[in-house]
Amino acid sequence: MILSIESSCDDSAIAITDIKTKKLLFHKKISQELEHSVYGGVVPELAARLHAEALPKILEECRPYFKDLKAVAVTSTPGLAVTLVEGVTMAKAISIVLDIPLIGVNHLIGHIYSLFIEKDTVFPLSVLLVSGGHTQVMEVKSLEEIETVATSMDDSFGESFDKVAKMMGLGYPGGPLIEELAKDGDRKKHNFTIPLSQSPLIAFSYSGLKNAVRLAIEKADKEDYKDIAASFEYIATAHLTQKLKKYFKTTKPKTFAIVGGASANLYLRSQIEELLKPYNSELLLSELKYCSDNAAMIGRVAIEMYEKKMFSNLDTLISSPKSSL
């Protein structure tokens, strides 16, 4: 079995995964959403302190599995430096005490493997990753052959939902709150511009849209917020589908997937489904509970890395906040 730890942002999670059967034997996550909600976003130092409290509590529940552990895995990049280090330090301690190898896992690869929890992998695959930190399209041939073909130039898709929610005083995380509010709104009420629609670039940008939404909010009454939320979600999603359509002109994916926290958005899912129809592509989605950050996806990557003996050096594995992959 492998014990895996996730602490890259505001979720403290630990999983135990069976290496041979890929079965998830244990998974527990303690989210900090409530604590950060009053600030309208994640406060890194507060998040680090909450990880330091939550992770040992969850680890205590894993004690019965300790004797069967063959490796310990941990998200090592990308994420918040002060929170990554909480998980990495714990993983190193477990590696030393139980004398088992340490596996440093890239969080973005974790999101890709959230598709394959308790399942076999399906490659090649084109993936849209939409999370709080990233908006990117990746072509995945295998664990070691992942190419990023489009990325965000500024704010990410999820982050733009968080910021719009903050401007409306709704709380954090903004994604589910905006999605809920948008359900009763008129998507065509506010005529926001689709970002980069005239640009041949296959890239994503949300800061301009965010500023346009800010101006609309400043002029609006609270009753108009639902229409602003709906119009924002409509344009934010149209930006993704427009750029994907461009990408599909050169690469027609047999299998396409959406992963990351924001892939839980049902409007986005429906629009991508619609987009894929003419291409006869299969759409892969993670189970809703594994879209947002979790340790089960880190454990799933770690199985592959364990089998390939992709171990990390105890002295050199440091948490590194930035990685495009």
Residues near Zn ion (CB under 5 A) = 131, 293
Q: What is the dihedral of CA 91, 94, 95, 98, to 10 degrees?
A: -160
Contact partner, 304, from ligand KG4, Zn ion, none, Cβ < 5-8 Å per class: none
Contact partner, 205, from Zn ion, ligand KG4, none, Cβ < 5-8 Å per class: none
Contact partner, 158, from ligand KG4, Zn ion, none, Cβ < 5-8 Å per class: ligand KG4
User: Among 87, 104, 171, 173, which residue interacts with ligand KG4 (rule: CB under 6 A)?
Assistant: 173
Q: What is the DSSP string of 236-259?
A: HHHHHHHHHHHHHHH---SEEEEE
Contact partner, 229, from ligand KG4, Zn ion, none, Cβ < 5-8 Å per class: none
* By CB under 6 A, residue 176 contacts ligand KG4: yes
Say if residues 242 and 194 touch (Cβ distance below 8 Å).
yes
- Min dist. Cβ of residue 49 to ligand KG4 (A): 19
- Min dist. Cβ of residue 260 to ligand KG4 (A): 4
**Measuring CA to CA, which residue among 64, 76, 73 is closest to residue 3?**
73
**Measuring CA to CA, which residue among 80, 51, 69, 58 is closest to residue 319?**
80
Say if residues 51 and 75 touch (Cβ distance below 8 Å).
no
* By CB under 6 A, residue 265 contacts ligand KG4: yes
* By CB under 6 A, residue 161 contacts ligand KG4: yes
Closer by beta carbon to ligand KG4, 17 or else 292: 292
Say if residues 321 and 77 touch (Cβ distance below 8 Å).
yes
Closer by beta carbon to ligand KG4, 163 or else 190: 163
Contact partner, 264, from Zn ion, ligand KG4, none, Cβ < 5-8 Å per class: ligand KG4
Residues 6+ apart with CB under 8 A from 137: 126, 127, 128, 129, 148, 149, 150, 151, 202, 243, 244, 247
Say if residues 195 and 56 touch (Cβ distance below 8 Å).
no
The residue ranges that bind ligand KG4 (CB under 6 A) are 9, 131-133, 158-159, 161-162, 173-176, 179, 260-262, 264-265, 292-293
